[in-house]
């Protein structure tokens, strides 16, 4: 009988047989720290008052822009 050990990244759920690869995955994720800005469309738009875009500061200092309404 052979025992197989699996490591799972607690952030994204990726599975690895190698602990070091899993640790690299865990450490590669940039975590959201703060919302630094948001932009809105006119209230009669399809966004219904929600931000059309949100800018988020990440744990590595970068700022990324997300569009929460993109898939609607």
* Residue 9 engages Zn ion in binding (rule: CB under 5 A): yes
25 scored as a contact of Zn ion (CB under 5 A)? yes
Q: Longest Cα pair distance anywhere in the chain, in angstroms?
A: 65
Give all strands (DSSP E) within the chain, no chain letters: 7-8, 15-16, 32-39, 53-58, 63-66
**30 versus 35: smaller Cβ distance to Zn ion:** 30
Among 12, 33, 48, 63, binds Zn ion (CB under 5 A): 12
Please measure the distance between the N-terminal and C-terminal CA atoms of the chain and give it in whole angstroms: 50
Query: Which of these ranges, 1-9, 42-50, 55-63, 64-72, lies near Zn ion under the rule CB under 5 A?
Result: 1-9
The residue ranges that bind Zn ion (CB under 5 A) are 9, 11-12, 14, 25
């Amino acid at each position: 009988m052979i025992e197989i050990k699996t490591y799972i990244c607690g952030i994204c759920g990726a599975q690895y047989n190698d602990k070091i690869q899993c640790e690299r995955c865990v450490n590669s994720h940039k975590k959201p720290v703060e919302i630094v800005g948001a932009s809105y469309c006119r209230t009669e738009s399809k966004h219904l008052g929600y931000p059309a875009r949100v800018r988020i500061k990440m744990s590595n200092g970068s700022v990324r822009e997300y569009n929460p309404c993109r898939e609607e």
